[in-house]
Structure 1
């Protein structure tokens, strides 16, 4: 799983936080009741506009332009720190084929100022997941975090296993 935060994180802490997020996201995925998943929240217009623009750029102009453009919404981001994320995504894209589309997996809203959108991103050979977290400190939405991973198929498979419960 690739993780990027606006704060500069040392490599050891980066690994710990990445594992913590992956574990908590996985636990939330298996513990979510079917009724909660069936009732999606209303789309947040400004946020979905940024995401749609991201995927159009991702398809036509590539990873680098898409990542840099979406992080222009946040004045605190250091573009040099995005290079690792861009390199990981580009390396993965070279293996999984051309981009063919996206599908919303989940939208979660912590408040009217913090929202998360997770997408299944379809490529010719394999799906990946992009999760966008947006924050609105005053009047405008800005990208707060961006997660990228290729474990969505493993999580789905794991969810089908019997957990030893009656």
Structure 2
């Protein structure tokens, strides 16, 4: 008949639990470190274009701001630009004076394709400008520019549970 030492068995059991907890904590810390790291966006040229855009938008108006930023893209269609300018100017007449901007989100598809979305504050209502930049070689160029006044609707929609209004 064998004799089991309860103290030795208890020590082995506690040691095994400590080992499991230590490994689990280490794995969680490594997972948190990799999931919380936001991709670094080094797009100094693109953000300079955005800053210049909003300074021009405030001081010289929509037309000059749009034309200046699209000078970076030699393939721009002037008809599309005129339509965008008209849409923004029509909206600006209704929403009042420009007050400022706040970054909503920035995304990076790769080192050559990035997106910045801004809440643009006006006296009566916010709008959104979304800039997409592409860097085919060394310099950023404006690839797409989106403008809409639906950011408040999207925010409201995001608060719904099972399609019901809050």
Whether the TM-score (by the shorter chain) exceeds 0.5 is yes
Unaligned runs of 5+ in 2: 1-34
Query: What displacement does 1:40 show?
Result: 7.2
Query: How many Å apart are 1:80 and its aligned residue?
Result: 3.4
Q: Which residue of structure 2 lines up, in the alignment, with residue 17 of structure 1?
A: none
Alignment of 1:6-155 (within 5 A): 39=38, 41-42=40-41, 44-155=43-154
TM-score relative to the length of structure 1: 0.73
Q: Which moved more, 1:119-128 or 1:38-47?
A: 38-47
Q: What's the offset of the Cα at 1:37? A: 9.9
Contact 2:39 2:108 in 1 (8 A): no
Equivalent pair of 1:108/1:116 in contact (CA under 8 Å): yes
Whole-angstrom distance in 2 between the partners of 1:38 and 1:55: 29
Write out the 4+ residue segments of structure 1 that deviate beyond 2 Å after TM superposition: 36-43, 78-81
Cα distance in 2 for partners of 1:64, 1:133 equals 19
Deviations 1:109-161 (A, max 9, x none): 00000000000000000000000000001111000000000000001011111
Query: Alpha-carbon deviation of 1:44?
Result: 1.7
Kept after mapping to 2: 8 A contact 1:41/1:107:
no
Unaligned stretches of 5+ residues in structure 1 = 1-35
Query: How large is the RMSD of aligned CA atoms in angstroms?
Result: 1.9
Paired with 1:76 and 1:84, the residues of 2 have a C-alpha distance of: 16
Counterpart CA distance in 2 for 1:155 and 1:37 is 25
- Counterpart Cα distance in 2 of 1:161 and 1:38: 29
- Report the Cα distance in structure 1 between the residues aligned to 2:42 and 2:99, rounded to whole angstroms: 22
Instruction: Report if aligned partners of 1:116, 1:134 keep a CA contact under 8 Å in 2.
Output: yes
